[in-house]
Amino acid sequence: MTDQPQTTFLGKQSDLPGSPEQATLDYVPNPRPSALYLTRFAVPEFTSLCPVTGQPDFAHLVIDYAPHATIVESKSLKLFLGSFRNHAAFHEDCTVGIGQRLFGEMKPHWLRIGGYWYPRGGIPIDVFWQSGEPPKGLWLPDQGVASYRGRG
């Protein structure tokens, strides 16, 4: 039996962090460090709060990254993203902040995040950030989220 990576939340009862700053992200060794590959997390029900009105904002996030030495443990990512439910920030701050935190802590070869925000007040806002040029030879599928077209 191989040694299991030490994680904070996996297999344990875990409360939602009070804020993104209080959230801990776990990183475990990349099981295929010599392979160039893409990992995708789709988060179709992301929620945060408008910093002006306090009303809820909703987005479909897509996080793509090419792992290097570590990968992010998905339960800790889920708890981190869930901590935004009571966090007041503009769409740009949420989207870019999530991408920058993951990139800064995990140090993948490359990372991108697409924030496809549902309209409130009549204007959908889509926010995109990436850490730089993707590595040569990395397969980059479309993120698969259509621009907002209305309800009809």
Count of positions (residues) in the chain:
152
Distance CA 103, CA 79 (A): 17
Catalytic member of 50, 64, 94, 142: 50
94 is catalytic: no
Which of the two residues, 27 and 121, has the higher pLDDT score?
A: 27
34-60 per-position pLDDT tens digit: 999 999 999 999 999 999 999 999 999
57 is catalytic: yes
**pTM metric for this prediction:** 0.91
What pLDDT, on the 0 to 100 scale, is given for residue 124?
Answer: 87
What pLDDT, on the 0 to 100 scale, is given for residue 9?
Answer: 74
75-128 per-position pLDDT tens digit: 999 999 999 999 999 999 999 999 999 999 999 999 999 999 999 888 889 999
User: Can you spell out the DSSP letters for the chain?
Assistant: -PPPPP-SSTTS--PPPSSTTT----EEE-S-TTS---EEEEEEEEEEE-TTT--EEEEEEEEEEE-SSEEE-HHHHHHHHHGGGG-B--HHHHHHHHHHHHHHHH--SEEEEEEEEPPBTTB--EEEEESSSPPTT--------PPP----
Considering the domain 27-130, what is its CATH architecture? Answer: 2-Layer Sandwich (3.30)
What pLDDT, on the 0 to 100 scale, is given for residue 1?
Answer: 45
Catalytic member of 3, 15, 57, 126: 57
Question: Exposure pattern of 28-53 as b/e (b: 16+ CB <10 Å)?
Answer: eebeeeeebebeebebeebbbbeeee
What pLDDT, on the 0 to 100 scale, is given for residue 152?
Answer: 33
139-149 per-position pLDDT tens digit: 999 999 987 76
